[in-house]
Structure 1
Amino acid sequence: MRFVSKLLPASKMKLVISSIGVLALVLFTSMVVFESTKAEVIITNNGEEKKIKTHKNTVGEILDQEGIEVGDHDALSHNLDADIEDGMKIDYESAKRLTLEIDGNVHTYYSTAQTLKEFLEEQSLSFSKDDEVSLQDNDILKDGQEIKVKKAFEVTVNDGGEEKASKVTGGTVQNLLEKSEIELNDLDKISPSLDDVVTKDTVITITRVEKKKEKVVEEVAFDTETKEDSSLEKGKEKVVTEGEKGKVHKTFEVTLENGEEVDRKLLDEAIQEKKVNRVVAVGTKEPAQVVSETSTSSSSNNNASSDKTITMTASAFTASCNGCSGYTTTGINLKDNPNNKVIAVDPNVIPLGTKVWVEGYGEAIAGDTGGNINGNRIDVHVPDKSKAYSWGVRDVQVKILD
């Protein structure tokens, strides 16, 4: 400056200094005016906010300035040719490349969605609670994200005859049972096996097996024994002992499949009541053919009023036997009158209604017949079985009283 002042007179020096000052003021003013005319814009780039002052005219120009290249699938809040305005907010979100694989079928998407839930809503996709998805609804998506989905399919389980439907995405039979909360007991059967892989065509059958003990009382039939009896005429039979059934306690192991019995195994048996065999006497004696008639008076010791006496074979019967009605052929009720003296006869020998005297028995009436009472054979009525057994079979004299 001193050098300039030496070259220029003082008046000119003042003029130069004044011009420089004016120029500086103009430059400063121009800069102030330039800056004051810039528009202030806020750009949000993938979530990061930035304030910018610019003289750019369009949104596209300012994005170029910031090095942002808008792709076909990117999200931009304004058109690229929109005019810049002071205070404008520009939102930009770059699209992410997403791969969605459903049961092995792969699809590629470009999306600005932040979470899986937003992406599925954007693409109008939905999956059931039984489908297997590799991400949760609120998981944040990243560029290049892979999303894998296994769609659930229905499998029928026949559980002891009751059909149940379960939805799975695969796995083993064991996995399906656990998911469906189906428990197996130790004896239960299942097809296919627990470690078999489940497919859409799989049908699972469970056979519920139960074993239990069962106690029963069974009757044991009696046998019939025969023995020869020399006091009984040939062709004649007499029941000496009535047969009685026995009883036996049996314990079985019973196997049930789905409630139906499929097997029964005897574990133990014990006799409760012994059987009593039926004993029948078979006659071996030649039948007596002698018929004698003697004269007796009304004052005879045996009180007989007839002179006809017959030697006959006599057995005994009681009205209290099994299957007996208690009524005789002539209508006498022996059950109500157990002490009545009645004999069964062959009407061809002694007519029904005839009064008789029987040796060892007394006076009686011929009031009944019998299948085995033929010829010189009678059956005397006694009150009970013990007296019938005591009487046995014997030869007696029978006198006709009227």
Structure 2
Amino acid sequence: MANALKNRWVKITGQVIVMTALVFGLVAFVGNNKSVTLTVDGQASNVSTFGTTVQDVLDEAGVQVDGYDEVTPAVASEISNGGSIQVITAKPVKLTLDGASKIVQSTSATVKDLINELGVEEDSDLSAPLDADLASVSNVVISTPKTVTITVDGKTKDKITTAATVGDLLTEQKITLGKDDELSKPKSTPVKEKLKLKITRIDRDQKIEITEPIAFETETKKDSSMYEDEKVVTRTGIAGERTKTYALVLVDGKETERELVKDRVTTEPVSEKVSVGTKERPEPEPKTDNTNVGGTWQALAQCESGGNWSINSGNGYYGGLQFNQSSWLGAGGGKYAPLPHMASAAEQIATAEVLRSNGGWGHWPACAAKLGLL
């Protein structure tokens, strides 16, 4: 009987121990279970978990994150009952930054969030508004401000620009290129910091006309009525004129090339006509006491021409007695020679006698008065 009681007590004690363990286990189970709010990309849900860290909750909820995703609090943080976890998963965004294209993983919601995430200046040139939903933008093109140097029309200036390419820069700066102008870099060149761009102005449309003289020719005619040492210009030569047209190449306003494109005679030259004598000049007549030669007429010739009967002074008066051509011909001197200085002294005196018989010594007023003939 005693043994039976003893065994019963042992059995009851064992049952009590098991029940106690179950109670404590249940209490521990209930105490370790937590309710956590998990929000993934704006979708919230309640998660019951025995986990102690954010990563435990994510694992139990089947949410996988990587280094690009944004998890708040951090995955290693401890989580308590009633806590909340927010996950924003990174999404691929096509980005073109200063001409370089790539795919970036971003948790940004708007374009403004993206440029803040990238550390880009807000005064950059953007292909979409700052408040645009990033999910609705297929490609974000960003051009950051850059300092460039532009040389054009003889001036060099530094400019701040957000233009993406050289072509965009020209448009932005309102620089118009001529059909022959040259760029130091192609229009498709991306604009980078400290870019140097030179526009060379080339003008092939300018022309210039230059006038040049054309020398006249001389036509010589022999005249047997003139002495061989005499020459008379019967028609004065006149130079002609030709106009040459050149096409110019100007580089930044300076001429670098010229090409003759037209050469035309605008005024024909007039040839000069000259008569030269062929008659042999006779030996000078010996001096005599002939009063006509050695007397009054000789004195008058000495006063008029220094006694040079062959002088052509070039002022329209000829010979020892300084006839003009009309007086000479009017008095009949043409039968001796075309001009007075071509005739002999005796022939000049004979003609002068004819002239004196019609008008007297007044045909030589100054010298006649000096000699007391008037």
User: Structure 2-normalised TM-score?
Assistant: 0.50
Which has more strand, going by share of residues? 1
TM-score, length-normalised on structure 1? 0.47
